[in-house]
Each structure stands twice: as C-alpha cells, then as structure tokens.
Amino acid sequence: HLDRIGEVDGEYHAFLHVAGEQALAAAADVDRAVAAGDAPVSPLAGVPIALKDVFTTTDMPTTCASKILEGWVAPYDATLTTKLRQAGIPILGKTNMDEFAMGSSTENSAYGPTRNPWDTSRIPGGSGGGSAAALASYQAPLAIGTDTGGSIRQPAAVTATVGTKPTYGTVSRYGLVACASSLDQGGPCGRTVLDTALLHEVIAGHDPRDSTSVDAAVRPVVEAARQGAAGDLKGLRVGVVKELHSDSYQPGVIASFDAAVETLTKLGAEVVEVSCPHFEYALASYYLILPSEVSSNLARFDAMRYGLRVDDGTMSAEQVMAATRAAGFGKEVKRRIMIGTYALSSGYYDAYYGQALKVRSLIAQDFDKAYEQVDVLVSPTSPFTPWKIGEKVDDPLAMYLSDLCTLPTNLAGHCAMSVPSGVSDDDGLPVGLQIMAPALADERLYRVGAAFE
C-alpha cells in the first residue's frame, strides 16, 4: 500500500502526511507476534488504514487541513488511534479533509483539494474526501472518517465505497478535534460492508475520557454483516422517507434509489412509505447549531496554545490573536464562526439557536414515530453525484444542499450507513444508498447493507 501511495497519490492527493516508517514498524510488530505463535489481537491485525487528519497522533502531525495547525504534533493519541494501534492496524498516514471538517467536497482544505478517483476533475465528497479517495484508489483497504452532518456517508456515496456513522457516543471523541461536539462522531470506512463492520467493532466502545460516551456494549455488527450476506431480508420492515425523495434531486440518483428499493423488496423486505414532516427544516436547524458550536469550539485557536502565531513583536495579545486567526483560518471556517457568534449573541439566541434546538427535537420525534412502523429507513445518501471541482466553491448554499439527506441522523444522534448503489444513468457516476437505524441499533445497518451489496 505504501508503494501504491507513492505511485498514485500525486494524482489524487488523498494523504496530507504519509507515515511509512511507523506503518512498517507496526506491521513488523504483528509479524513478530505471529512468528512467536501469539494469537492475533484482532482479525484486522496487520491490515493497514488511512486516518482522517482530525484524530490526534503522537508520531505524526494533526492539522485538520488548516494552516492554523500546520506541523502541529499532538502530545497524546486519540482513543480511536490507541484502539487502532492495540489492534495491530498500521496507520499509513493522515488523510485530507475540509478544514476542521466543514464542507462537502474537500475543497476547503488549506492544502489543496483531493480528486475523485472515478473522475479526477470531480470532488471526492467531504469533509472526509481523503479517506474515501484512499479507499477508492486502492491506497488503503480501510479508513477512518468523522461524520458531523454526513462527512463519512456522502464521500462514501460519491466514491462507491462504504461508510458508517455509528450511533452518537459509541465511538470515543477523546482526541478527535472538535467541530460541533453534539454532532461529531468518528466511524469506519471500507470497500465492503464486512470490512467496515470489522473496523466498527475495533473502534467502538465506552470511554470514560469522553463525557458523552455511551456506557453500552459494542453492537454485534460483524455477526449482522455475516447474516446479511446470506441475502435474506424476510421479516424486515423498511421505510422510504417521503421527504427525502424529491424531483429536485438528480434524476439518475432517484432512478438508482428506486431500483435499490426494488432490490430490497426482492430480498424479502417489506417496504412502506413513511413521512418525517420536519426533515425539511433539518438543513436550517443544522446550519445554526453547527456554527454555534464551531464558534465556541474554535475559540481555543488563540495563537497562544497551538500551532500558528503571527506576531511582529510590537503587537498586543489581542492583535496577535486577531492576526493569527485572520491568517490561519480559511473562508468557510471564518464564515461559520461569524454565523455562530451572531446566532449565540444576546438578543438573537432565542430566535436562532433556541429555535434550531426545538426543530432538532421535532426531527427526533419524527424518527421515533417512523421507527414504530419500520426497522430501518432508506433514502439516497446525496441528492447528486460528484460535481466538478470548483463548481460550487462560490455558492455555500448550493454546497450545503448536498447534506440534505444525511443531516437528520446527526441531529437525532442515530446511526446510518452509505453503501454503493450502482451508477447514475445520466452521468455514469457513483450513487449511494443511505440506510438509517435508531440509536444503538447499528447492527441493522450492516444486515441490510450486506444483503444489498
């Protein structure tokens, strides 16, 4: 895989940092243990991974694709990083992303965009485009993403790979640089549902170092993937979300989705239409809640504690802070800090943030009602196939629309997965099927995903 990275990553730019020496040392440790006759610590021992550059690592930089963290090396490993190391999974390097995980195309990286291996003139999705492109171009067999509003699922959809956003709180956020803490969730990415399930079980689990970690047993997702692979969905109730099936989506995406629903029916599932009337406000609610949390979380980048510091020796502390943030943050990050600061300011708090939280509750209630009727919900993962690099950079609202189908799951704290659903007949580019399930029912995603793939 290191050879492959050397050969092709000049073209795709999936990696921000490649850690060849460390990866080979970790692989050699596994070889030694095998030679000594020790039982493998994990079924994935020795299988290398690409890690999104938002998880801390003590032996390589963590930049979140931002200039403000250029070259910064964390003093501790994220819990997820530790779990990978303990499982004997060599870390090949850190992958490109939208700066601080804000974006849907990886064009907001301060280090240049990643290209979609299916068509290098197009985006690989975002914010985890680097991880998805590394998988699609066979530079890594496994990858890690984070999903705050769709950053695992939408890149999976547009690169024909698999990605899961686990139930909120089931994968530790300790050492995951925060974007929006009430929404962020690390998760597994792979080229098959079973690979993704194996990785899911490695990274999940309660962590006392994360105050929002759920104290519950790891869901049996590997067993569910094996069961699903038999291709029998008899007895499973599937809901098609009416509000996530629209004429405004790309026609080829809707055609692929309708064919997917037919496949699920043929596999024995009972498919019904369900209505989640508040989903139409998910985008508006998310784009107030997320910037509000961002404006608070990113206050830590104050030029004093980490990374970049712009200081000509005559400036006051406040001037250093302002100059550093002006130089270190990109356009989209600044936009969201400003929106969030405005939404949280006194006099506007109730009108914006308070209102958005009420909508968030209504969306969770829509899900609860739907899950009284069905076991899983399905929709397209993204309304569009991957667009041309540069096409939407000047239109943030057009960019935000690509998150339409993925946001409700994050707002409710539930789980969801994207699996490849063929190509769109209007442009021949990959389409993803989104499968959603209630909190702590992640195994349902894997059963359905494995049956469908």
Q: Would residue 392 show up in a list of annotated catalytic residues for this protein?
A: no
Q: Draw the binding track, 222-251, toward ligand GLN (x: CB under 6 A; -: no contact).
A: ------------------------------
Q: How far is the CB of 64 from ligand GLN (least distance, A)?
A: 11
Helices (H), 103-215: 129-136, 153-159, 193-203
Cross-strand pairs, 237: 270
Q: By the 8 A CB rule, do 163 and 152 touch?
A: yes
Q: Would residue 151 show up in a list of annotated catalytic residues for this protein?
A: yes
Closer CB to ligand GLN, 150 or 166, in the complex: 150
Window 164-193: residues binding ligand GLN (CB under 6 A): 179
Closer CB to ligand GLN, 150 or 383, in the complex: 150
Q: Which of 151, 167, 297, 409 binds ligand GLN (CB under 6 A)?
A: 151
- Please identify which of the residues 127, 256, 285, 418 carries the catalytic annotation: 127
Closer CB to ligand GLN, 101 or 203, in the complex: 101
Q: How far is the CB of 154 from ligand GLN (least distance, A)?
A: 7
- Please identify which of the residues 151, 172, 295, 421 carries the catalytic annotation: 151
Q: Which of 148, 192, 196, 424 binds ligand GLN (CB under 6 A)?
A: 148
Q: Draw the binding track, 76-115, toward ligand GLN (x: CB under 6 A; -: no contact).
A: -------------------------xxxx-----------
147 touching ligand GLN, by CB under 6 A: yes
Question: Among all chains, which residue has been given the structure tokens 């692989």?
Answer: 27
**Residue 50: closest CA among 151, 150, 132, 149:** 132
Q: How far is the CB of 408 from ligand GLN (least distance, A)?
A: 13
> Which one of the spans 86-94, 146-154, 414-422, 428-436 is the region binding ligand GLN (CB under 6 A)?
146-154
DSSP 352: I
Tokens of 340: 């969030």
Q: Would residue 127 show up in a list of annotated catalytic residues for this protein?
A: yes
Q: What's the CA gap between 451 and 194, in Å, rounded?
A: 11
Q: Maximum distance among all alpha carbons in the chain? A: 72
Helices (H), 18-104: 20-35, 79-86
Tokens of 219: 């869901």
Whole-number CA gyration radius for the chain: 21
264 touching ligand GLN, by CB under 6 A: no
Q: Which amino acid is at 148?
A: T
**Residue 50: closest CA among 140, 175, 178, 158:** 140
Closer CB to ligand GLN, 42 or 66, in the complex: 66
Q: Which of 88, 90, 149, 205 binds ligand GLN (CB under 6 A)?
A: 149
Q: Which of 66, 79, 106, 127 binds ligand GLN (CB under 6 A)?
A: 127
Q: What's the CA gap between 330 and 343, in Å, rounded?
A: 20
**Residue 320: closest CA among 304, 335, 298, 336:** 304
Site residue total, ligand GLN (CB under 6 A):
14
Strand order in the sheet with 376-380: 15-18, 91-95, 49-52, 142-146, 186-190, 162-165, 415-423, 430-437, 376-380, 237-241, 270-274
Cross-strand pairs, 379: 434
Tokens of 419: 């699996």
Q: How far is the CB of 279 from ligand GLN (least distance, A)?
A: 16
Closer CB to ligand GLN, 127 or 256, in the complex: 127
Window 344-403: residues binding ligand GLN (CB under 6 A): 403
- Please identify which of the residues 42, 52, 172, 256 carries the catalytic annotation: 52
404 touching ligand GLN, by CB under 6 A: no
Using N-to-C axis directions, what is the helix angle for 282-297 and 355-373, rounded to 10°?
Answer: 130
Using N-to-C axis directions, what is the helix angle for 193-203 and 221-228, rounded to 10°?
Answer: 170
Window 284-323: residues binding ligand GLN (CB under 6 A): 290
Closer CB to ligand GLN, 97 or 374, in the complex: 97
Closer CB to ligand GLN, 99 or 210, in the complex: 99
Binding footprint of ligand GLN on the chain (CB under 6 A): 101-104, 127, 146-151, 179, 290, 403
Catalytic amino acids? 52, 127, 151
